[in-house]
Amino acid sequence: MNELKEERQRLIIQWVNEEKRVSVAKLATTFSVTPETIRRDLTELEEQERLTRVHGGAVLYTKLEEEQIFLRKLDMNRAEKEQIAIVATSRIKDGDTIAIDVGTTTVHIADFIQNVQNLTVVTNSLAAADRFNQAIEEKRMTGKVIMLGGLTNPAQSSVSGAMTLEWLNHMHVDQAFISCGGIVADTIYDYDLEESLVSAKMMAISKKNILLTDSSKIGVPSYFSFGQASQFAEVISDQSCPKEWQEWYKQWTITKRGRVEC
């Protein structure tokens, strides 16, 4: 078994060196193993500094730089985030104008959108904008993507700042899908001040706010508070609402494997 793994990993490195980039899906098919097995291989090889993991695969090894932070965070609690995004996508209707903030959960909404017509997406996430454009190209939706102006943050694949807030001042949206860095009792937190200001502004211009949070954020405060329970119509999470958080109880939706559990 170890010999098979060693040979597979040797071939993965050879492939990376030749192609510069490999995908988990293609490797899994080539070696007739599960994507989880390939992800473990890539993790081991990255620890050996033989390649660098990125979203969906791996590239030639480079020292970890700040701009890779967002891509690495995408793989943390990935399955849970995708299930949350599936339920969030079901809230989107034809003709909606929606705001998508920067986050490794909200970015997955575009991956699961299907058969939505005339959708307008407003976002400060470069990654989300790219994925919604891909959804349009693949004819999973029709509409347009409005990429907000501002200062770029390569580490978060985002834009923010005074220009971003000014653009949002002139907009109104039907729904805002908001991520967070942490949630404690009735307060929402994030790690980045500039991005938290953009999220707060999106909430202010939206008719309905929906918070997307996986279990790793629950009960964890971070640096900046930007929202309260009363500002959200719904919370979609893979974990049930803590019993002592009475402010959230009626808004909370639990999802397991893409289905609403309660």
Tell which residue, 181, 207, 185, 214, has the closest CA to residue 195.
181
CATH no., domain 78-260: 3.40.50.1360
- pLDDT, residue 257, reads 56
25-71 pLDDT per residue, tens? 889 999 999 988 998 999 899 889 898 876 677 877 765 444 345 55
Would you state the structure tokens that stand for residue 166, as one six-digit string?
A: 């000014």
87-125 pLDDT per residue, tens? 999 999 999 999 999 988 999 999 999 999 999 999 999
**Which residue ranges make up each domain of the chain?**
2-63, 78-260
Place of tokens 């899994």: 28
Q: Residue 16 and residue 106: Cα distance in Å, rounded?
A: 30
Q: Note the pTM of the prediction, 2 decimals.
A: 0.71
CB 182 within 8 A of CB 128: no
Pairing of strands 151-153, 158-160: antiparallel
Q: Evaluate whether the domain defined by 2-63 bears CATH number 1.10.10.10.
A: yes
Output Rg (C-alpha) for the chain, integer angstroms: 19
